[in-house]
A = this chain, B = another copy of it.
C-alpha cells in the first residue's frame, strides 16, 4: 500500500473524530473586529495551539498588536527536503443580524438535509473547515506513515475578517522562521460542487478617496445654486468621464503597461463561461463589461475602476436646499500584471486635478496599494496541487482569476517572496459572511483527502 493509500485510509477511518473536533472549534465564538469577540479569539488560538501540539508540531501562540497568530512547525527537517507553509484563519465574521439565523451560530450539530450531512455555524465554511482540512490531513499522513509529508510551517491568523492589520508586522518579525518553498493558502472556493479550482491570478488594488471642495462652505442652493460651484456636479462629471463609451478606463496611459490576455487563456476562460455562469447567481444586467471581453475576462483579467461610495450634502430623508461645500467619492482600481499601483494612482490624481474648476480644490487620500499577483501555471507546486485535486474529484481543477484581494497572498508574495497556491473548498451557497453559514461533512472529508493526494504529488510527482 502506498503512502497515499495509507493516509487516505486513516482519513476515512478518523472522519467522525475529525468532524467532532471541528464542531468543537466552530463552537468557540472567535469573532474578530468586536471587543466581545476577544475572549473567543484567545480560546480558539489556545485550542488550535493544543491541537497542533498534540499531533506533533512545535506550536505556540504569538501575540501581535491585535489578535494572536498560532505558529506551528514540524521538528526534524531533512537537509534539502521541501518546506511547505500552510495558511488559514481562525477568526470569524460577526453574526449580526442574530435574529436572521435559524440555527445557533455557535452550537453546531450535524443536520441531515438535502441528502447532505450539514453543520451550521459562524465560521463553519469561512474558514474553520478549511484550516481543519489541512491540519487533519497532516495528522493522518503522520499517523499512517510515521512522519509529516515534508517540513511544515503552519500560520493561523486571527484577524483576517478585519483586514489583517497585524499581518505585515508579524511576517516581518518572523520572516526567518517562515522561509519555505511555497505557501498553500486554504481560504478560497470551488468552481462548482463537483469541480475544484485554484486561484492563480489576483488583481492588484488601489483604494482612493477623492473630495472636491467648493470655495465656499455650505450655501443656500436657492440663492446660489444657479451660479456658484457645486461639488456634487463637479464630482459627477469627473466620475462619468472616467470611462469611455466602450467601458474602458479613460485615464491617459492606463493601459500602457497592461499585457493583453493570451489567446490560450481566453480560449480556456471562454470554455468556462459556457460551462457555468461565473457570476454565481449575480445578475450582470445593465452591467459594465468592457467591449470585446466576456464577463470572466473582465472580472479576472482586465483592469478596472469601481465606484464604492459617494457622499455629499443632504443625506435625507427629505429635501433640503443646500449647496454643499464638498462631495466625496471612494473608488478602487483593480490592477493586472504589469501595472504599478503608484503609477495608476498618480495618473488618476492628475486626471482628476485637471478637471477641477478654478477656485475649487481637490483632496486625495488612500493607503498604499498592491500590485497584481500571478502564479505561473508551470509552478511545480501548482502543478502538484492541480494533479492532486483532479485525482480526488475526477475533474481537472479550474485555474482561475479573481478581482478580489487576498491580503495574505500579497503579503507573503511581496514580503517573503513566497509563491502562493490558493485553493479551498468553499461554495457560493455556503452563506459565508451571512446568517446560517454552513458546510458539510462530505466536503470536509474530500477536502482532507485532496490534501493527502497533493502531499503525495509533491513527494512523488512533478514537484519532486
| Partner pick for A323 among B306, B329, B402, CB 8 A cutoff | B306
Cβ of A175 under 8 Å from chain B: no
Query: What is the CA–CA distance of A203 and B321 in the complex, to the nearest angstrom?
Result: 13
Q: Which of A56-64, A152-160, A208-216, A262-270 contacts B (4 or more CB under 8 A)?
A: A208-216
| Partner pick for A230 among B237, B298, B306, B319, CB 8 A cutoff | B306
Whether A309 contacts B312 in the complex (CB less than 8 A), given A228-B284, A229-B286, A299-B226, comes out as yes
Q: Which of A7-15, A87-95, A354-362 contacts B (4 or more CB under 8 A)?
A: A354-362
Cβ of A236 under 8 Å from chain B: yes
Q: How far is the CB of A64 from chain B (nearest CB, A)?
A: 20
| Partner pick for A285 among B215, B221, B367, CB 8 A cutoff | B215
| Partner pick for A308 among B207, B321, B334, CB 8 A cutoff | B321
Whether A283 contacts B228 in the complex (CB less than 8 A), given A313-B330, A315-B311, A404-B220, comes out as yes
Cβ of A42 under 8 Å from chain B: no
Residues of chain A from 285 to 337 with CB closer than 8 A to chain B in the complex: 285-290, 295, 298-299, 302, 304, 306-316, 318-324, 327-330, 332, 334
Contact across chains for B215 and A403 when beta carbons are under 8 A apart: no
* Copies, count: 2
Q: Which residue on B lies nearest to A230, using beta carbons?
A: B307
Q: Which B residues are CB-close (under 8 A) to A312?
A: 309-311
Contact across chains for B310 and A311 when beta carbons are under 8 A apart: yes
Q: Which B residues are CB-close (under 8 A) to A222?
A: 203, 205, 332, 334, 402-405
Contact across chains for A328 and B308 when beta carbons are under 8 A apart: no
Cβ of A234 under 8 Å from chain B: yes
Cβ of A52 under 8 Å from chain B: no
Query: What is the CA–CA distance of A309 and B319 in the complex, to the nearest angstrom?
Result: 9
Contact across chains for B232 and A239 when beta carbons are under 8 A apart: yes
Q: Which B residues are CB-close (under 8 A) to A318?
A: 207
| Partner pick for A360 among B285, B357, B366, B405, CB 8 A cutoff | B285
A–B complex contacts, Cβ < 8 Å, 8 sampled: A223-B404, A226-B334, A227-B284, A229-B288, A232-B310, A236-B236, A306-B321, A311-B312
Give me the 3 closest cross-chain CB pairs, A-B, nearest first: A285-B359, A309-B314, A225-B306
